[in-house]
Chains A and B, each alone.
Chain A
Amino acid sequence: MLNRFLRRFWAWPSELQRLGVLGMNRRNAELVLPLNPRANFPNVDDKLRTKSLCTKYQIGVPATIAVLNHLSELKKLPATLSACSEFVVKPARGSGGRGIIVVAGRHGDRLVTPSGREYTEADLRHHCAEIMSGLYSLGGHTDSVIVEQRIVCHPIFNRFAVGGTPDIRVIVYRGEPAMAMARLPTKTSQGKANLHQGAVAAAIDLHSGTAYGGVWRNRVVTGHPDTEASLADLEIPHWPQVLEYACRLASGLGLGYVGIDLVIDQANGPLVLEANARPGLAIQLANRQGLLIAIQRIDAALSRNKIRILPNSQIA
Chain B
Amino acid sequence: MTEPYRRRIDLGSISISRNFVLLIVVTSLLLAGTAAMLTRFAYDGTWQDSRTGLWRLDYRVSFDAQREGDRLQIWLPRDNPHLRIYRQMLNNPDMIPETSRSAIYQSRLNLIAEEAGEHSVLATFEFELGPDVRQTARVSEPPVAPADMSRWLRSTRTIQATSDIAKSLVSEWKQESALTPDLVQRIFQFCEQELEKGDEAWQEDAESTLRDQMGTDMGCLKAMVALCRTALIGARLSSGFEIVEDGEIEPVYWVEVLQDGIWVPFNPVHGFAGKLPWNWVKVGSDSELVVSTVGGEAVEAEFLLTRLPTQHSLSAGNRHWSSIFDLTRLPRKVHDVLSLMLLLPLGAIITAFFHTVIGWRTVGIFTPALIALSFILADWRTGVVVFALAISLGMVTRSLVEPLRLLMVARLSFMLTLVVIFLVLTVSCLDYFRWTPSADAVLLPIVILTLTIEKIYSSTIEEGAKNTAYLLLATIVVSFCCYLLLGWKSIGLLVLHLPEVHCFTLAVLILLGRYTGYRLTELFRFRDLAFAQVSTT
Contacts and interface: CB of A to CB of B under 8 A. Distances in A.
A73 interface: no
B463 to A, nearest CB: 6
B255 to A, nearest CB: 55
A61 B522 CA distance: 35
Interface string B1-42: 111111000000000000000000000000000000000000
B488 interface: no
Interface string B463-496: 1100100000000000000000000000000000
Nearest to B3: A299
Interface stretch (A20-28, A81-89, A232-240): A20-28
A10 B529 contact: no
Interface stretch (B139-147, B340-348, B402-410): B402-410
Contacts of B517: 13, 23, 25-26
A9 B526 CA distance: 10
Contacts of B467: 196
A30 B524 contact: no
B530 A218 contact: no
Interface in A1-31: 4, 7-13, 15-16, 19, 21, 23-26, 29-31
A133 interface: yes
Given A13-B518, A295-B2, A21 B405 contact: no
Interface in A21-68: 21, 23-26, 29-31, 34-35
Nearest to B532: A288
Contacts of A299: 2-3
Q: Provide the main secondary structure of the chain B interface.
A: helix
A101 B313 CA distance: 68
A299 B6 CA distance: 13
Interface residues of A, number: 48
A148 interface: no
Given A96-B462, A130-B405, A130-B407, A30 B1 contact: yes
A15 B530 contact: yes
B134 interface: no
Nearest to A35: B4
A220 B535 CA distance: 13
A296 interface: yes
Given A25-B515, A25-B516, A98-B462, A7 B3 contact: no
Contact of A12 (B1, B405, B519, B530): B530
B527 A23 contact: no
B534 A21 contact: no
Contacts of A303: 3
B403 to A, nearest CB: 12
Given A10-B523, A11-B531, A290-B529, A16 B518 contact: yes
B491 to A, nearest CB: 28
B97 interface: no
Given A34-B5, A126-B405, A133-B408, A16 B519 contact: no
A140 interface: yes
Contacts of A30: 1-2, 5, 516
Nearest to A295: B2
A174 interface: yes
A34 B6 contact: yes
Contact of B528 (A126, A197, A218, A256): A218
Interface in B396-415: 405, 407-409
Contact of A9 (B2, B405, B408, B524): B524
B136 interface: no
Nearest to B466: A196
A285 interface: yes
A253 to B, nearest CB: 16
B359 interface: yes
A9 B521 CA distance: 11
Contact of A15 (B2, B464, B515, B533): B533
B525 interface: yes
B463 A196 contact: yes
Q: Which residue, B4, B409, B514, B533, has most C-beta atoms of chain A within 10 A? A: B4
Nearest to B462: A96
Contact of B529 (A26, A133, A288): A288
B523 to A, nearest CB: 4
A11 B526 contact: yes
Contacts of A149: none
Interface string B434-472: 000000000000000000000000000011100100000
A133 to B, nearest CB: 4
B85 to A, nearest CB: 58
A26 B519 CA distance: 10
A262 to B, nearest CB: 23
A186 B416 CA distance: 38
Given A16-B530, A135-B408, A220-B528, 6 more contacts: A7-B527, A13-B523, A31-B2, A197-B464, A288-B529, A292-B2
